[in-house]
Structure 1
Amino acid sequence: MGLLSKDIRSLDDLLIQGLGELLYTERRISKTLAVLAGKVSDPALRHDIEACQAAGSGNIAQIEEVCRRRDCRPHVTESPAIDGIFISEEELAGEIDDDHVLDIAIAGTVHAAAAYTAARYASLIGRLVGVGRPDCGRLLQAGMTHHQRAAESLRLLAEKRLTPRALAKVGRDPVVVAIAS
């Protein structure tokens, strides 16, 4: 028996465990994003975080629909990976005094959560298609695409807006810094 889940004896058990972990992940992200949105100073970052949070309920509904179609009831399984991403953010945020630097740290955290979650979706989609349930895989496609787009949007926001803003605040020219790197 696993530390956080029951024994996995078959591919079906693995799918059910994966769906339960994805449910936990989406719920954890939604809850945490509400807190993070209140910590940021950049309006574009707040907008991206709130958009991610708004998509969460639709993603959860899709996962639940996959469970209904497969006639399974997944045990919501904690995800040490997603918990670790957010625990790391909490510890780091407590050490940051500058609002612009905090925005970059939070963008990085949300980016990491989105990238991790997109990978979890991709794994489950592949398994579902592999066991002859492409209909269920298609249901999860929107969640995967949402997280992939969110990760890319946050990466670009940090690169093109948040980092230059933080550098300008301390009098460093972002172009000179980029060339020197």
Structure 2
Amino acid sequence: MGLFSKPIKTLDDLFVHTLQDIYYAETQIAKNLPTMIEKATDPQLKQGFQTHLGETQNQIKRLEQVFQMHGQPVKGVTCAAMDGILEEAKEVMSDVEDKEVLDAAMLSAAQAVEHYEITRYGTLIAFAKQLGRQDCASVLQQTLDEEKATDQKLTAIAESKVNRKAA
């Protein structure tokens, strides 16, 4: 059975497992964002993290809605990828003393998180559509759109000042 809580035999099983994976990931992100908010010194970056914490909390609620719509219990499964991304971010953050370099490091870590989320939500939407669950796909699409917008905002913050200050 491997890392999975139950055997994955069908696309529906894979859809549910992937929902559980991103649910776990989103809850871990929500737990870690307050530390990043606290450590960020760039006001725009700090505000971006605060905004995304609120979005993440709403995204968790949307995932709970999709579980319910799909007749599944709300449950997460350990996401080794997100655990790794967050652990790496913590390690880098603990190694950086310069506040401006720390902002750049946190921004980079946040984009790694966003890119993982974008791939997961895109996959979930494709699975939902294939399973005839346009209702689930529509809810998930709202989150994918937010994740892409957050990634674009982070890129703009990085390119407009944070990376320059860190240099």
TM-score by length of 2: 0.95
Aligned partners of 2:160 and 2:20: how far apart in 1?
36
Post-superposition offset of 1:74: 4.9
Question: Which residue is equivalent to 2:77?
Answer: 77
Deviation, 1:53, is: 0.5
Where in structure 2 are the equivalents of 1:4-153 lying within 5 Å? 4-153=4-153
- The Cα offsets for residues 121-151 of structure 1, whole Å up to 9 and x where unpaired, read as 0100000011111111001111111111111
Unaligned runs of 5+ in 1: 168-181
> Considering only CA atoms, is the larger Rg found in Structure 1 or Structure 2?
1
CA distance in 1, matches of 2:166, 2:25: 31
RMSD value, Cα: 1.1
Counterpart CA distance in 1 for 2:82 and 2:155 is: 18
Match of 1:177 in 2: none
Deviation string 1:72-106 (CA, Å, 9 cap, x unpaired) is 12531111111111101111111111000000000
Q: Structure 1 stretches (4+) deviating beyond 4 angstroms?
A: none
Tell me the CA shift for residue 60 of structure 1: 1.1
SS at match of 1:38: helix
Alpha-carbon deviations, 1:17-73, whole Å to 9, x = none? 111111111111111111111111111000001111101121111111111111112
SS state at 1:72 partner: coil
Letter in 2 for 1:47: Q
Aligned residues: 167
CA distance in 1, matches of 2:26, 2:67: 15
Measured in 2, the distance between the counterparts of 1:50 and 1:89 equals 18
Mapped contact 1:89–1:106 kept (Cα < 8 A) = yes
State the identity %.
29
